[in-house]
């Protein structure tokens, strides 16, 4: 039997919610079970053929991927996000580095939705240089502490290595 999280992660790969220049390995979905927790694929109203991930009722839910990182390189993460974020809720695009042993390195970069309703798609962008000793870069979206009316949709998640002089 296939778990709902695995099926959703496979569909996310198939429909291109997370993308980059090279093919992505499998996406990972991690969710702390809650009474109202729900993660689903939804169509984007602005572009019906595009797909987004909607997170509701989350205590701590993350959709992410770990990819090989090259120390010293600059990485740029970008996504389209929207939602309703009450005080205490944190819905965001994030970028993180790990060393070869899986230990968190540097600082976790996040760009959160503003508090209140954001009906229109916003482009969230993060950039960071991989610290010395970094082996992995994590990119994705997540929500924590969502209230009754909170929700987050994220689409077009992208990660690029930025070549110096290409900016």
pLDDT of residue 75: 94
- What mean pLDDT comes out for the span 132-147? 94
Q: Which tens digit of pLDDT belongs to each residue from 65-105?
A: 888 999 999 999 999 999 999 999 999 999 999 999 999 99
Instruction: Answer yes or no: pTM beyond 0.85.
Output: no
Look at residue 167 and tell me if it is in a domain: no
Number of separate domains in the chain = 1
Among 16-20, 56-60, 90-94, 129-133, the minimum mean pLDDT is found in 16-20
Going from the C-alpha of 141 to that of each of 72, 124, 157, 160, the distances in angstroms are 24, 10, 8, 16
> What CATH number is attached to the domain comprising 99?
2.60.120.260
For residue 20, what pLDDT is reported?
40
Residue 59: give the domain boundaries.
4-162
Q: How far apart are CA 160 and CA 105, in angstroms?
A: 19
């Amino acid at each position: 039997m296939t778990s709902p999280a695995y099926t959703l992660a496979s569909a996310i790969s198939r429909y291109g919610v997370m993308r980059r220049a090279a093919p992505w390995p499998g996406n990972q979905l991690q969710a702390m079970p809650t009474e109202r927790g729900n993660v689903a694929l939804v169509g984007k109203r602005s572009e019906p053929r595009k797909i987004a991930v909607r997170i509701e009722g989350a205590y701590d839910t993350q959709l992410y991927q770990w990819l090989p990182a090259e120390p010293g390189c600059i990485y740029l993460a970008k996504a389209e996000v929207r939602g309703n974020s009450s005080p205490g809720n944190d819905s965001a695009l994030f970028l993180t580095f790990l060393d070869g042993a899986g230990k968190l390195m540097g600082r976790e970069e996040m760009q959160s939705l503003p508090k209140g309703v954001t009906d229109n798609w916003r482009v969230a962008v993060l950039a960071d240089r991989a610290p010395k000793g970094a082996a992995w870069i994590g990119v994705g979206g997540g929500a924590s502490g969502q209230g009754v009316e909170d929700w987050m949709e994220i689409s077009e998640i992208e990660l690029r290595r930025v070549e110096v002089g290409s900016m």
